[in-house]
Structure formats: structure tokens, C-alpha cells
Chains A and B, each alone.
Chain A
Amino acid sequence: MINKIIQTPAEAVADVFDGATVMISGFGEAGSPIELIHALIDKGARDLVVISNNTGSGHVGLAALIENRQVRKMICSFPRSTNSKVFPELYKRGEIELELVPQGTLAERIRAGGAGIPAFFTPTSVGTPLAEGKEVREFNGQLFVMEHAIRADFALVKCRAADRYGNLVYNKTARNFGPVMCTAAVTTIVQARKIVEPGQLDPETVVTPGIFVKRVVEVSNPADESKLVAEERRYPW
């Protein structure tokens, strides 16, 4: 029998090791798997390379993981959003690495990683500093930059509902990087607001097919990250 359900976030992230590459879903606070990230803080794995669009908000979730000095390097497109305080401080002090990637290139590098495509050519960033040192090739009279796929050891993803096979549906714009990240990690760990019986998710509307998912854990009442940030909460509490 296939049963990908895990009882607690702590068990779900128990094998994340020092030096691992970890994809974390979310666009700002929408879709960030905050309970899984907090479990990773409790677990204490260090020297992580984290791939996520932003660098977290306030002092909870991804920002708290960075603040706890567990992250060696961030791969992201926009590391300084309004509520981002922790990363900018460390970066200015030279205490964390940054690989800046255009947002669409980041999504496509992850997609390619999941799809078994080692590299691809994109028109994005041609003639800009972000193309420096990369192979440029002409197709049909236009220049394109070669970008490499990214894969990760783990992906931490948030969704609305899952079943024991790992089929997932998301909520509104909290979907963002979740579906591509699920495909590109050796071990994809998902927190779902609700775990339902097989068959309850309409097969026509499943967004992430279960084959891409290793573990699902129900977090029925996930923290509202925006609220925690507004209240200036810190993790560990």
C-alpha cells in the first residue's frame, strides 16, 4: 500500500542533512510552508543552499531559518522585499552568499531540473550583467543565454489539499513555485491544509500528480505569516 502521510512536520523533515540543497515554495508570504520551515529550524540542519523566490519576511519562516544561521547560500530572484530584514543584514556583512536569478529563469531552471533537461537557452537577461560568463548562442537571428537546470535534495511545499498518494491542489496565488519544485527534488515534502481520501480530488483538477511527492503532512491551521510579521513575532517562539 502506498501511504505518503507523515504525522508531524518534525518527522517529515527529520532526514534533511547538513549541506543539503532545499527548495522552498512561496512568493513572499503566499505559499510559504512555514510549519515545515520551523520544523527544519528545530531540527537544526546547517550549511543549507536554499532556493526560494524571496528571502523571507520579518523573523519567522524562511527569514528565521536564515537568522538561525542554517543557510549558507540563497538562490532567488528578489532578496529584498519590504518585510525582508534578516537577509539584507547578513548579506551586507558578507555572511551569506547570493545567486541572483531572474524570476522566470528560476522557474524554468527548476522546471528543467524536474523534467530531465540539463540546460536550456532563454532570451531573458541577454546583454545584462546576469548573463556575464554564460554561453550565448544565436537562434533565428536572436541571441539567447544558456541556463542550467537546478535540482534539490529536498523541496518544502505548501498546498491546500492532498491525498495519501501525494496528489495536490493549491490555493490561489499560493500555488506559485510549488508545482515545479515538487518535480525537481529527490524528496518532496508537502504540508497540506487538509488530507483527503483518494478519489476526493477530481483527477481532472489535480495540479501536482502524486508521483512527484514523497511525504504529505496535514497542517490544518497553518500560521498566517503576514500576521506573524505584522506582530513582529520571532521563531523559535
Chain B
Amino acid sequence: MVSNAEKIGWDVQEMARKVALDIPDGAYVNLGIGIPEMVSGLVPEGREVIYHTENGLLGMGPLPPAGEEDPELINAGKKCVTAIPGACYFHHADSFTMIRGKHIDICVLGALQISESGDLANWSTGDEKAIPAVGGAMDLVAGVKTIYVISKHVTKTGEPKIVKSCTYPLTGKAVVDRIYTDLAIIDVTPKGLFVREMAPGVTMNYLQERTEATLHQYE
């Protein structure tokens, strides 16, 4: 565990912007609840991206203006949203056909832990007293073509989130493709974790000290 007192690294907005830069024109994208939702506002001009929400909407638009919320037009986080011109609605089995059938290009999710081999834990801490709830997370990681994780590099108490092996219950095995943290962007490859980019002021040593899993550098 390392003290995280010094201010170094990207803020949440910048992390979301990094993800957004990696979303190509024409992509069908599912964004998880919370920080991943910020990504939609940061995609560069000129790229058309279609957002899927698993509760049955393809072509999700921005939040509605105050007073124009429709309780029957919501996203997976149960927040009121809008539908773009050209959007469509469908039932849950069709929605998960899109997910499980590998029709969605990219999913952006949060994480509790990510392992060296791309295992993801993001639905439960395994606490016996907590009420387990999984939603669509396991379907998304099992079926979407590319899984991006956006997460702080360490926990609030400074523990590494990128670990050799997840201690929390898994959401999926070997499912993560790329990790965007406040300190770095890291690719999950068959040869291990490779650092793609580091935030200003971050060095490989600094990053490795805050990562339980072994990090590699591209040649």
C-alpha cells in the first residue's frame, strides 16, 4: 500500500475523455452506470456513436430538460433519458441477444478488481451481509466484443485494484481488454498487462508500486 497524498494523474473527466477517444465512428456502445456514463458527452465531433441501454433502447440520447422527463423512457441506471431520431425500442430478450450475440462493439464498465489475465470483479464484495445484485454485468462482459474498464487505479484506502488474481467474486473470466485509470491506460493481452499511456508525472516505478499485477512496457 502506498500513500496517495500527492496530486498526480488524470481527473475523472480526463479518464472518461481517454475512453471516448478510443470509441470509433459507427460504434454501438453500452455504458455502465456512473462514471462510464460521462463518456457519451466526450466523444470527438464527427463520430457517430449509437448508445445501447440494456433495458430496451438503441439510440439513447442525452438527459431530458427539466420538466420533460418521461418515467417510461429510462436507462439501465433507471434515470430518465431521451431517444435520438432513429432510435428503437425492444424487449429484454432482444436486448440481450444484442449483448450476448456479440452485436455490441464496446462496453465501458467500472471495477472493484481487475486481474492480470483480464478477470473482472465488479458486482459484489462477497460480503455475507450484503444483498447480492448482478443486473446485466455478467451478460455484458460475456458478450460484448470489447470491454473497457474505467476505474481509479487504487481503492479509497490505497489498495491496488489491478491484482494478480481477484479476491472478490468474478463478473467474468478473461474478459477485460483495456483499463483506463487515473494513472495510466493499460492493455490486457495474452502476454500480460502492457502500459499504453501514463498520466503526466507518472513513471513505470510509480505505477508498478500501485499495481499488484506485473506491468510491462511496449517495445
Interface residues of A (CB under 8 A from B): 27-31, 53, 77-82, 87-88, 91-92, 98, 100-108, 110-111, 122-130, 170-180, 207, 224-227
Distance between Cα atoms of A174 and B100 in the complex (Å):
22
Is A124 within 8 A of B138, CB to CB? yes
- B12 beta carbon closer than 8 Å to chain A: no
Q: Which of A79, A103, A176 contacts B139 (CB 8 A)?
A: A103
- Given the interface pairs A126-B142, A176-B55, A178-B91, the reply to whether A104 lies near B72 with Cβ below 8 Å is no
- Given the interface pairs A27-B74, A98-B132, A122-B100, the reply to whether A177 lies near B91 with Cβ below 8 Å is yes
- Given the interface pairs A91-B131, A92-B129, A127-B170, the reply to whether A30 lies near B91 with Cβ below 8 Å is no
What are the 5 A-B residue pairs with the smallest beta carbon separation, nearest first?
A104-B96, A104-B139, A127-B173, A107-B92, A174-B72
Is B89 within 8 A of A77, CB to CB? no
Is A78 within 8 A of B72, CB to CB? no
- B90 beta carbon closer than 8 Å to chain A: yes
- B56 beta carbon closer than 8 Å to chain A: yes
- Count of A-B contacts judged by CB separation below 8 Å: 147
Residues of A within 8 A of B135 (CB): 77-78, 102-103
- Closest Cβ neighbor of B137 among chain A residues: A102
Distance between Cα atoms of A100 and B129 in the complex (Å):
15
Q: Which of A87, A125, A207 contacts B138 (CB 8 A)?
A: A125
Is B172 within 8 A of A126, CB to CB? yes
- B84 beta carbon closer than 8 Å to chain A: no
Is A172 within 8 A of B70, CB to CB? yes
- Distance (whole angstroms) from the CB of A235 to the closest CB of chain B: 18
Residues of A within 8 A of B136 (CB): 77, 102-104
Interface residues of B (CB under 8 A from A): 53-57, 70-75, 78, 83, 89-93, 95-96, 99-100, 119, 124, 129, 131-139, 142-143, 169-173
Is B134 within 8 A of A100, CB to CB? yes
Distance between Cα atoms of A123 and B174 in the complex (Å):
12
List 7 additional A-B contacts (Cβ < 8 Å) besides A30-B71, A126-B172. Answer: A107-B96, A110-B93, A122-B142, A124-B143, A127-B119, A127-B172, A172-B72
- Closest Cβ neighbor of B138 among chain A residues: A102
Distance between Cα atoms of A188 and B61 in the complex (Å):
33
- 17 CB contacts below 8 A, A to B, read A30-B55, A30-B73, A77-B136, A79-B131, A80-B131, A80-B133, A82-B78, A100-B132, A103-B54, A103-B92, A104-B138, A110-B93, A126-B172, A128-B169, A130-B134, A172-B89, A173-B75
Is A173 within 8 A of B131, CB to CB? no
Is A224 within 8 A of B93, CB to CB? no
Distance between Cα atoms of A171 and B70 in the complex (Å):
11
Is A128 within 8 A of B73, CB to CB? no
Is A176 within 8 A of B100, CB to CB? no
Residues of B within 8 A of A104 (CB): 54, 92, 95-96, 99-100, 136, 138-139, 143
Q: Which of B73, B137, B138, B172 contacts A172 (CB 8 A)?
A: B73
Q: Which of A77, A103, A173 contacts B72 (CB 8 A)?
A: A173
- Distance (whole angstroms) from the CB of B155 to the closest CB of chain A: 21
- Closest Cβ neighbor of B100 among chain A residues: A104
Is A224 within 8 A of B170, CB to CB? no
Is A173 within 8 A of B99, CB to CB? no
Residues of A within 8 A of B96 (CB): 103-104, 107-108
- Distance (whole angstroms) from the CB of A164 to the closest CB of chain B: 23
- Given the interface pairs A28-B74, A29-B78, A172-B73, the reply to whether A177 lies near B92 with Cβ below 8 Å is yes
Residues of A within 8 A of B169 (CB): 128-129
Is A226 within 8 A of B142, CB to CB? no
- Closest Cβ neighbor of B96 among chain A residues: A104
Distance between Cα atoms of A102 and B13 in the complex (Å):
30
For B83, B89, B124, which residue has the most chain A Cβ atoms within 10 angstroms? B89
Residues of B within 8 A of A27 (CB): 55-56, 74, 78, 92
Is B170 within 8 A of A226, CB to CB? no
Distance between Cα atoms of A124 and B142 in the complex (Å):
5
Is B56 within 8 A of A173, CB to CB? yes
Distance between Cα atoms of A199 and B91 in the complex (Å):
23
- Closest Cβ neighbor of B90 among chain A residues: A175
